[in-house]
Amino acid sequence: MNSRTPRLVAALAVAGILTATACGGDDGDDPGAAPSSPAAPSTPQSPTPTPTPTPTPTPDPRTFTLVATGDVLLHERLWTQARNDAGPGEEMDFAPQLANIAPIVQGAGLAVCHLEVPLAPASGPYEGYPMFSGPPQVATALAETGYDACTTASNHTFDQGADGVDRTLATLDAAGLAHAGSARTPDEAQQITHVEVATDGGPVDVALLSYTFGFNGIPAPDGETWRGNEIDLDRILADAATARAEGADVVVTALHWGDEYVHEPNQLQSDLAPQLIASPDIDLLLGHHAHVVQPIENVGGEWVVYGMGNLMANHAEPEGPKAEGLLTRFTFAEQDGGFAVTNAEFLPLYQTYQPPVEVLDVPAALASGDTGTATAARLRQARDRTAEIVLSRGGAAAGLTMLESP
């Protein structure tokens, strides 16, 4: 409001009174008295209009893509290749083995790997099957490829005892990779892993949970059962509720489960998946462990990935389905006060056995003709078998599609 306007009107009124007093000292009977002229009426001022406030722009809906892949299981053939790929002053470099999928991984808002094995000291010794202790240089390669986080709960979590758990998590920390599934202290075991994903509409809080069916009969180091997360329905639901209460917009749960080398989900998977994905606090299930591809299913409008096979592994029988893996990509979009998957995609992968050992983007390799040490016929087999298995539970009808080469 303009406070000058009422003060100006009051001043004009006082001036009119003083003029009337000076000119009308008698009752006006004196015929010689000149009549006083009436004062000109004052013109009231209009108030200054209040400017219309600029509307606050509506923020863009937040949306991001999540990429996830299968087991990182470090057999000796992989670190032999990493030695061959190392540059001057390096002992090992695993990044070239992942170079073919780096563009897709780097293009994701959040990329999650599954590190199945504990990591050794930088100078070794390294161990393969059955008690793994992998070269720690793989963590740097995963970060360079574009991964943001790794889940770590697996049947091999306790292969190298408490030292293996501690060293693995310290190595991931040093590489800038978030992690979930195992812990160095009781306090760390109680913490939910949250990863902030940048979007045009603002940050999104994604919580990562990770659990395994067991530890190959290896007892928890010193009885410290908190060091590795074991699958328990009530515990998972409680952790997911805690994650949501702490502000998670999206909760992703990774489960190390299933029967090795079997494409069909087992009874535990079939029983547990519907109960978990029905929770309002869980948005996506990601499966590992079988070392072969398993189906992706839409359950009640949300996605269950039963198993993604291997990302990096070289089993003793390389030419079977164990050489085949899966990259999954889910687009999350903000809607109705929460987040939902608006696009679900999968990409067949293939791990070559003959050097140079590398992970192939199967559609891209077939399109370009650059199939590495694999044959085009073998890659077509991998593509077709992967698609058949992944889509075997009606995923296509719910919108699941295979990523194709540009």
pLDDT tens for 95-149 read 999 999 999 999 999 999 999 999 999 999 999 999 999 999 999 999 999 999 9
- Pairing, β 204-212 against β 250-256: parallel
- Pairing, β 284-288 against β 296-299: unpaired
Give how many domains the chain has, as a whole number.
1
Q: Do the domain assignments include residue 51?
A: no
Q: Do the domain assignments include residue 18?
A: no
Cα of 373 vs its chain's centroid, Å: 33
Residue 384 has pLDDT above 70, yes or no: yes
Q: Do the domain assignments include residue 46?
A: no
Q: Do the domain assignments include residue 22?
A: no
CA distance 300 to 36: 93
Q: Do the domain assignments include residue 170?
A: yes
CB 254 within 8 A of CB 209: yes
Residue 382 has pLDDT above 70, yes or no: yes
Contacts for 110 with CB less than 8 Å, ≥ 6 apart: 64, 65, 66, 67, 148, 149, 195, 197, 206
Q: Do the domain assignments include residue 301?
A: yes
Q: Do the domain assignments include residue 24?
A: no
CA distance 370 to 376: 9
Range of weakest confidence among 18-22, 117-121, 126-130, 324-328: 18-22
**Which domain does 140 fall in, by range?**
63-402
CATH number for 181: 3.60.21.10
Residue 380 has pLDDT above 90, yes or no: yes
CB 251 within 8 A of CB 281: yes
Contacts for 343 with CB less than 8 Å, ≥ 6 apart: 329, 330, 331, 399
Rounded to 10 deg, the angle between the 76-85 and 137-145 helix axes is: 70
pLDDT tens for 170-200 read 999 999 999 999 999 999 999 999 999 999 9
Distances (CA, A) of 105 to 126, 231, 251, 331, 349: 27, 28, 20, 13, 13
Range of weakest confidence among 1-5, 38-42, 330-334: 1-5
CA distance 406 to 400: 18
Q: Do the domain assignments include residue 30?
A: no
pTM: 0.86
pLDDT band at 88 (very low <50, low <70, confident <90, very high): very high
Whole-number average pLDDT of the chain: 90
